[in-house]
Structure formats: structure tokens, C-alpha cells
Amino acid sequence: MRLNGLRLISGVQTPTEDSRKALSFILARRTGIILLIAALAMQIFVPAAGAGDRTTRVITLLSSGTYTAATAYSSSFDVSAYAEGQIFIDVTAEAGASTLDVTIQSSPDDSTWFTHTTVGQISATGQTLQVLTNLGKYIRVKYVVGGTNFTFSVKGVFKN
């Protein structure tokens, strides 16, 4: 004897095969709906990756110091993990009618160097910012002090 999808056996009601399939379908459908709602909630409440997720590194390319008339180079730095950067040149003192030429160089092997970016000639105290992209594997700073001397530093902030 059947009663609303149940079978009466020895006075005990047990589900029929059809009612089991119906129950499984309902549970699967509810579970699917719950998972869909959860997935949508994650998209709504989890912020998308953005600039705040980027890795940055600050490198002191040249420490603050007084550099006399000469052509010289900073140490080289591996920047292969970064896609772009900014170079900050901070000139705090200048003697006489001196000039400062700064060139950012790039190298694929830390041996052979190529001009990446030439910064405009500096002839007074102040700050200069130079934006860089397509950094390559290594970079360094070449500087030429003309005249007497300059007191300056060069830092870089690099982002992936």
C-alpha cells in the first residue's frame, strides 16, 4: 500500500524509489542554489586585485653624498621581478656652476650596459623624478658631474 510516496510495510512507512529520487533531486538542487549564492557573495564581498596588491621595492641606487667632477656608476641591481619604476634624484647642494647628468642604464647580463633613459641635465638643488618602464634584468645609474661638485642621492621605487 502506498501513501504519499511512502510504502507501508509491516506498519512502518518507508520511502519508495520514486520518492528517494525526488528527495535526492530536491537536495541536489538546493545544494546547487546554495553554492551559487556563495559564489556570488564571494564576488560581491571579495575586492578585485588592484594596485594595492602590487609588490614594491625601494632601492637606494646612490646614497646621499658629495660627488666631485667625474663620470661614475652606481652598483647594479636586479630588477627583473619588476615591470616599472620611478627614479628620485634629490640634489641638496651644488657648488659653483656645476652640472649633473644622470643616465639610467640597463643590462641583460650585468656586464654589457645600454642607455635606458637619460634624465635632463640638472644644474641646481631640487628634486627630479623620472618614470621608467620595460626595465630589463639589471639597472644602474651613470652620473657625470661637470664643474666642482654636487651633493645628491638617487633612489628607485619599483613595482611588479
Question: Above 90 in pLDDT, residue 19?
Answer: no
Euclidean distance between CA atoms 67 and 62, whole angstroms:
10
Question: Above 80 in pLDDT, residue 52?
Answer: no
Q: How many domains does the chain have?
A: 2
Note whether 41 and 97 are same-domain residues: no
CA distances to 4, 16, 88, 130 from 120, in Å: 88, 86, 13, 9
**How many Å from the N-terminal Cα to the C-terminal Cα in the chain?**
72
Average pLDDT (40-49) is 58
Contacts of 119 (CB under 8 A, 6+ apart): 87, 89, 101, 102, 103, 104, 128, 130
* Band (97; pLDDT cuts 50, 70, 90): confident
Euclidean distance between CA atoms 130 and 88, whole angstroms:
7
Note whether 137 and 111 are same-domain residues: yes
- Answer yes or no: are the C-beta atoms of 122 and 91 closer than 8 Å: yes
Q: Where are the beta strands (DSSP E) in 95-135?
A: 99-107, 114-118, 126-133
7-16, 36-45, 89-98, 138-147: least confidently modelled range: 7-16
Note whether 109 and 153 are same-domain residues: yes
Note whether 17 and 34 are same-domain residues: yes
Question: Which amino acid makes up residue 115?
Answer: T
pLDDT of 23: 63
- Answer yes or no: are the C-beta atoms of 137 and 107 closer than 8 Å: yes
3-state helix, strand, coil in the chain (%, to 5): 20, 55, 25
In the three-class reduction of DSSP (H, G, I as helix; E, B as strand; rest coil), residue 50 is classed as: coil
Q: Which DSSP state fits 28?
A: H
Question: Above 80 in pLDDT, residue 3?
Answer: no
Range of the domain at 29: 2-45
pTM of the predicted structure, to 2 decimals: 0.66
Note whether 151 and 110 are same-domain residues: yes
pLDDT of 7: 57
Note whether 109 and 130 are same-domain residues: yes
Note whether 60 and 30 are same-domain residues: no
Note whether 67 and 82 are same-domain residues: yes
What's the mean per-residue pLDDT of the chain? 84
H-helix segments, the chain: 17-45
CATH number, domain containing residue 71 = 2.60.120.1110
Note whether 12 and 61 are same-domain residues: no
* Band (31; pLDDT cuts 50, 70, 90): confident
Q: Which DSSP state fits 53?
A: G
Note whether 64 and 129 are same-domain residues: yes
Note whether 57 and 107 are same-domain residues: yes
102-152, pLDDT tens digit by residue? 999 999 999 999 999 999 999 999 999 999 999 899 999 999 999 999 999
Note whether 88 and 31 are same-domain residues: no
